[in-house]
Amino acid sequence: MTVYAERTPSIATRLLQAGEPDAIIATAAALQSGRLVVVPTDTVYGVAADAHNQDAILQLYAVKQRPLSKAIPILLADPERLDDVAREVPPEARALMARFWPGPLTLVVPKRPDLPPALSPDANVAVRIPDCAVARAVIRAAGGAVAATSANRSGEPPAQTAAAALAALGGQVVIVLDGGPAPRGLASTVIDCTGAALRILRAGPLTRDDLAANGIEIL
């Protein structure tokens, strides 16, 4: 049986423009207070929670109607925050980070045991640094790491604009931060770095050929 977290009641949602005074700070403050927000990224709009707040992450599952068995990735603002969420980083993963971060590449690495258990059902965590100044500014102001996944109900198309995210999640998040249309409109490529060989878990903007052109072999 698929298990979901309990859905939250409807709340007031504010639509903020990223260029408005204090919009970044207000969005980060909402995250730090345990609320959910929507932020733009370089791939698609994401619904985000404090990556260190178990209750907020469970609320994110509920809003998405996402099975608890399906992990929530972490977005970082800066590479030096990686050790806050990763127990170890294989050399292959560091090579990918050096070449493709910030950008549309999510890497699965061993997670720190002190992270909230709701982030993933196993010993790993997916991490990425988005190539979006607005997203990174919010993440940095909120402490450096957020749990985030596409701003839509599970099974529906990911939101590529703030208006689409508001239509999908209005009443379930406190802020939708409008940074303009998502430039790629496609969720990130996901690579598992925890095994004997790198493995693509989800196709995305970075293709196998892109990786091969940089000397990276992928199963």
Model confidence band, residue 1 (pLDDT cutoffs 50, 70, 90): very low
Alpha helices in 73-132 (DSSP H): 91-100
Q: pLDDT by residue (tens digit) across 132-185? A: 999 999 999 999 999 999 999 999 999 999 999 999 999 999 999 999 999 998
CB 85 within 8 A of CB 74: yes
From residue 199, alpha-carbon distances to 108, 133, 142, 203, 215 in Å are 10, 29, 31, 11, 15
CATH number, domain 14-213: 3.90.870.10
CB 104 within 8 A of CB 189: yes
Query: Which pLDDT score is estimated for 7?
Result: 56
Give the orientation angle of helix 23-32 with respect to helix 133-141, to 10 degrees.
50
For residue 176, what are its two tokens? 């939708």
Distant-in-sequence, close-in-space partners of 21: CB < 8 Å, separation ≥ 6: none
CB 74 within 8 A of CB 147: yes
Q: pLDDT by residue (tens digit) across 38-76? A: 999 999 999 999 999 999 999 999 999 999 999 999 999
Q: Beta partners for 131?
A: none
Supply the pTM of this predicted model: 0.93
Query: Which pLDDT score is estimated for 5?
Result: 55
**Maximum Cα interatomic distance, the chain, rounded to a whole number of Å:** 49
Place of tokens 């999908």: 168
